[in-house]
């Protein structure tokens, strides 16, 4: 146990890409960082670079996520920040010729892991007196992305879960947020990078900087967009219209 009051962070998918950049950014900012990844070798490499802890974990398993949280809390003496960043691309349209195994894989990594991670982390965060959970969604969690309905479904689910979880935890000193980056130059888009041509891509460090800003000043329930050349900020959701007042005429066709 290393606890001396230094904040402890757990980052899933920390062995590469955005996750590795987040680990480096948090370590530079004073966190002790636990690097959680299914690739034990990658986790060990990143953990060595930030003087942290490497944890090999299948994030799609609730028991494995629970064990990872327990290991990190025991190592650090506390848990203050959880970044649920592990993710998978869809790779199929999702509207015809459905690859069911691929669908289950994407939902397991992108959705189940966020649910399991939050549930596993809450007791430890409460023992620390509060904390922060940030899940990695995507711009595909805010708008439809043609050609990959399964990925879009999973990322919309993360946004909805985060907003609901934050509301459910109102009154507790625990923030739950989502980061929603645009296309980011990582291994996840390696096979399709040539399709982007001159389209501007984010770097992993851009997303890590946004996560750092969220830790510093984000409010629970927020979903921050990250786009090249723009300052990351909370996405402003439109309010849903309430019911019409009693006796009011029904809306005209095309209204409401």
How many separate domains does the chain show?
1
Please indicate whether residue 161 is annotated as part of the active site: no
pLDDT in tens, 221-249: 999 999 998 999 999 998 888 888 776 66
In the predicted structure, residue 54 carries a pLDDT above the cut 50: yes
Residue 252 in any domain: the answer is no
Residue 140 in any domain: the answer is yes
Residue 244 in any domain: the answer is no
Residue 246 in any domain: the answer is no
Residue in 25, 122, 141, 151 annotated catalytic? 151
- Region of poorest pLDDT, from 49-63, 149-163, 232-246: 232-246
> Domain span at residue 156?
8-234
In the predicted structure, residue 78 carries a pLDDT above the cut 50: yes
Residue 197 in any domain: the answer is yes
Percent of the chain with pLDDT over 90: 75
Q: What is the pLDDT of residue 203?
A: 87
Residue 228 in any domain: the answer is yes
Residue 16 in any domain: the answer is yes
Residue 3 in any domain: the answer is no
CATH of the domain at 170: 3.40.50.720
The CB-based long-range contact list for 152-158 (8 Å cut-off, 24+ gap) reads 152/90, 152/94, 153/94, 153/107, 154/90, 154/106, 154/107, 154/110, 154/111, 155/110, 155/180, 157/110, 157/111, 158/110, 158/111, 158/114
Confidence of residue 193 (pLDDT cuts 50, 70, 90): low
């Amino acid at each position: 146990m290393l606890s001396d009051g230094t904040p402890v962070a757990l980052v899933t998918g920390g062995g590469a890409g955005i996750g590795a950049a987040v680990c480096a950014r948090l370590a530079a900012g004073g966190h002790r960082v636990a690097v959680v990844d299914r690739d034990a070798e990658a986790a060990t490499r990143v953990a060595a670079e930030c003087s942290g802890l490497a944890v090999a974990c299948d994030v799609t398993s609730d028991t494995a996520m629970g064990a990872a949280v327990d290991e990190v809390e025991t190592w650090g003496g506390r848990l203050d920040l959880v970044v649920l960043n592990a993710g998978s691309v869809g790779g199929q349209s999702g509207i015809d010729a459905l690859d069911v195994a691929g669908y289950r894989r994407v939902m397991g990594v992108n959705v189940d892991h966020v649910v399991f991670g939050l549930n596993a982390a809450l007791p430890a965060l409460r023992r620390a007196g509060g904390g922060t959970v940030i899940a990695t969604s995507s711009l595909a969690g805010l708008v439809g992305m043609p050609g990959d309905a399964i990925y879009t479904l999973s990322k919309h689910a993360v946004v909805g879960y985060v907003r609901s979880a934050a509301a459910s935890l109102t009154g507790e000193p625990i923030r739950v947020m989502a980061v929603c980056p645009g296309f980011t130059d990582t291994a996840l888009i390696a096979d399709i990078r040539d399709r982007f041509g001159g389209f501007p891509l984010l770097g992993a460090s851009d997303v890590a900087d946004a996560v750092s800003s969220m830790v510093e000043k984000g409010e629970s329930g927020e979903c921050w967009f990250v786009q090249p050349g723009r300052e990351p900020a909370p996405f402003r959701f439109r309010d849903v219209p309430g019911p019409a007042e009693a006796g009011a005429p029904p809306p005209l066709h095309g209204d409401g």
